[in-house]
Chain A
Amino acid sequence: MPSTLEVDAARRRGAVITLTLLMLAVLPGGVALAERDPFGWAGSDSCRSCHQDHYASWHRTFHRTMTQEATGSSVLGAFDGREVTYWGRTIRPVERDGQFYFEYLDAPGGDVASVAHITRTVGSHRYQQYLSQGSATGDNYIRLHLLWHMGEQRWVHMNGAFLYSDDQGFNDHAATWNHNCIYCHNTGPQPNIVNYEALHRRLAMGERLNFLANARYESQVEELGVACESCHGPGAEHAAQMRNPFKRYWHAFNEDAEVEGIVHPGKLPPERSAQVCGQCHAQRLPIRTNLVETWLKTGPTYRPGDDLLDHVSLISPDTPGTVTKPDIYRLRFWPDGTPRLSAYEYTGLRQTPCFTEGKATCISCHEAHGGSAEGMITEPNRAGASCLNCHQTIAADVSKHTRHPAESEASDCVSCHMPRIVYGVMAIHRSHDIEVPDPVGHAEQDRPDACSSCHLDKSAAWLASTIGEESRPAADAGTPQWLMDLLGGDPVQRAIAAEAAGQDGVALTGAARLWLVPPLLNALADGYPAVRRFSANSLRTLDEQFGTEGPQFGVLLDHYDFIGDAVTRRELGRKLWRRWRDFAAQRRDQPAWIAGAAVNPNLLSELRAQARANAKRIEIGE
């Protein structure tokens, strides 16, 4: 029998062995974590250990959910088996055993001709697109034909999301993800083209082929979606360094000390800071043609903190187009050079004195870890704090500067200086080319303006005359600029005008808004789906506002589908006009504009001819 001392000694040995095993269990984990991938990426899970608050504030953003594996929690569309028919083809979105599919039918209610298994999703804010990966496409991810629109809770054919006319094919927007969306919608993208050399050889031998259509990829990303390292740079080195507690405390007490291996956009010079956002929020091309191969193989070369312009050339109106599409880039800008599509925010900002002279940068207004997920703008900045930091004298008497009541939306800085003249992702956005309103100058440039987008019933000349005047002129003999834009502008002008009519802040109130209805009914016959959609949405908004005091379009508008078949749309259009005329006939005691006099036949045909002449295919590039 062992003595008490022997028992004690055995227990002590046991305790030592237990502690040693615990240490051994911990140490290998630390060693494993310190391993590097060749590109030095760590992943957002590594960041979470130390930066849980920042992780949480990023986790709620649409950046994170930009690209996701298709699962029950990430897929937002209604995969309920109801058929959707557009451009002559019927698709049935279905869910089976937690997997999502688009079944392509040979006819409405017919047999399944082919099936696309949805493996990834793109987007989660305004709409969600769906990707399929299949052997038929060489394992490339292909963007499928339908998107799910979150706001409208409906399926939309991709043709309805772009600024193209009805003259589109069913497959026109079936893009390849691997050399397109991958760059900006993921972290650490590597397209990994596998047949680059083979395709080059075929081209060199004189074969005529579409390089990108024949490219095959084995793409990888460090992380799906836009995660920490998209803005802070690859973080494996930083994560390894910061496992040392002495280094952590050193940096905690020396906030200005540079942290190795990571970038804090807020501590970069303004230009470099804005470029972190500009790597995606500015459409661009590799700065040298030989970088195309690098992009297609290992991805873009820019890393946060670099000078973006050493890596890319920003697309501008002067960027040469292709042989078949010489205007492809020019059309993405208003004639005065202001970007008119989304994903050009950095491009626009660079053109403003706020940026060039005032050192304003993206994070002067936006906060990646603050504010609401929509727009990432904090409440003080929404109220103009970022502008008033520099323009303090204006804050003393806002209405003197704005010529509008200080409490009105028109006195918000952005209402006039960042007008809503940019199209993207089926919505109209604010321009980031911060400007001074110039109704006549802008009208001459064939572009909308803050003034004309709000004072929808006024001509550009009248609007210009009020700037600098203490009192408004009594009469306005000119044609309203909004009307000219809506019915005679180019597709972007028309879309913006159609959308403006449904905005709460427009300078027409009550029954005066009835004047907007006839032009919008005319715009329902537009040849561009995007314009029709905005027109129908604005009519729905107005119809709700009018209530029983208006034409009460009700279900007629509910049944109107901006990408539905043309015959049904025309029939609904006729019914809507009939309803309007009946309503106008009952309101003969009202001013003349009720009868739709604003769109007299001669003017209408003239504007329609202008619109036809302005028919353009605006390639959004997203």
Chain B
Amino acid sequence: MKIDTSDTPVRACLRFGWTALVMFLLLGLTLEFLHLVKAPWYLDLRIRRELWVLAHAHGALLALLNLAFAATAGACITDARSRALASVMLRWGSGLVPAGFLLGGVGNTESDPSLAIVLTPIGALMVLYAFTVMSTAAWRLR
């Protein structure tokens, strides 16, 4: 499969995807380190631990999906404006979803994330939009 790297939205998703993979790999290493040193402010706070693991998992997965978008968007979405908008929405969404989880685990209560968690559903809607555009375009392929 040949990727058209001259297409700005595709190139942006490629850069975002690989950079995000590096960042969330580093986050994963950090979480493992916190296990290594048995950091109580991470291990003992159930909500924080869950949210940061979710941030790591979602960040890494969405980074991969950005790469998948870069690889297939050119073939699926023929309209350049739609492709550009989907790319922007996917990148912002891919940033906001893990950011919401990560920041939701800072200043959280015993039962709830901090208010930063609102970033996650906003980001999720943006990602949903991008994937819906991709999905619809894929169904239209002949």
Interface positions of A (Cβ within 8 A of B): 4, 8, 49-54, 242, 245, 248-249, 252
Residues of B within 8 A of A245 (CB): 112
The answer on a CB contact under 8 Å between B109 and A53 is no
Q: Which 4 A-B pairs have the closest CB atoms?
A: A50-B111, A252-B109, A52-B46, A53-B110
Q: B34 contacts the other chain (Cβ, under 8 Å)? A: no
Secondary structure of the A contact surface, majority rule: helix
Interchain CA distance A245-B111 in the complex, whole Å: 10
Interchain CA distance A50-B108 in the complex, whole Å: 12
Across the interface, name the chain B residue whose C-beta is closest to A248.
Answer: B112
The answer on a CB contact under 8 Å between A248 and B139 is no
Residues of B within 8 A of A248 (CB): 109, 111-112
Q: B45 contacts the other chain (Cβ, under 8 Å)? A: yes
- A sample of 18 inter-chain contacts (CB < 8 A) reads A4-B139, A8-B139, A49-B111, A50-B110, A50-B111, A50-B112, A51-B110, A52-B46, A52-B111, A53-B44, A53-B45, A53-B46, A53-B110, A54-B110, A245-B112, A248-B109, A248-B111, A248-B112
Interchain CA distance A126-B118 in the complex, whole Å: 49
Interface positions of B (Cβ within 8 A of A): 44-46, 109-112, 115, 139-140
Secondary structure of the B contact surface, majority rule: loop
Residues of B within 8 A of A4 (CB): 139-140
Interchain CA distance A242-B112 in the complex, whole Å: 11
The answer on a CB contact under 8 Å between A249 and B139 is no
In the complex, the number of residue pairs spanning A and B with C-beta atoms less than 8 Å apart equals 26
Q: In the complex, how many angstroms separate the beta carbon of A53 from the nearest chain B beta carbon?
A: 5
Interchain CA distance A51-B46 in the complex, whole Å: 10
Across the interface, name the chain A residue whose C-beta is closest to B112.
Answer: A248
Q: In the complex, how many angstroms separate the beta carbon of A136 from the nearest chain B beta carbon?
A: 48
Interchain CA distance A491-B44 in the complex, whole Å: 47
Q: In the complex, how many angstroms separate the beta carbon of B68 from the nearest chain A beta carbon?
A: 21
Count chain A CB atoms within 10 A of each CB in B46, B110, B111, B140 and give the residue with the most. Answer: B111
Besides A53-B45, A54-B110, A248-B111, 10 new A-B residue pairs in contact (Cβ under 8 A), listed by A number: A8-B139, A50-B110, A50-B111, A52-B46, A53-B44, A53-B46, A53-B110, A242-B111, A245-B112, A248-B112
The answer on a CB contact under 8 Å between B111 and A51 is yes
Using known A-B contacts A4-B139, A8-B139, determine if residue A249 contacts B46 with beta carbons closer than 8 Å. no
The answer on a CB contact under 8 Å between A249 and B112 is yes
Residues of A within 8 A of B112 (CB): 50, 245, 248-249, 252
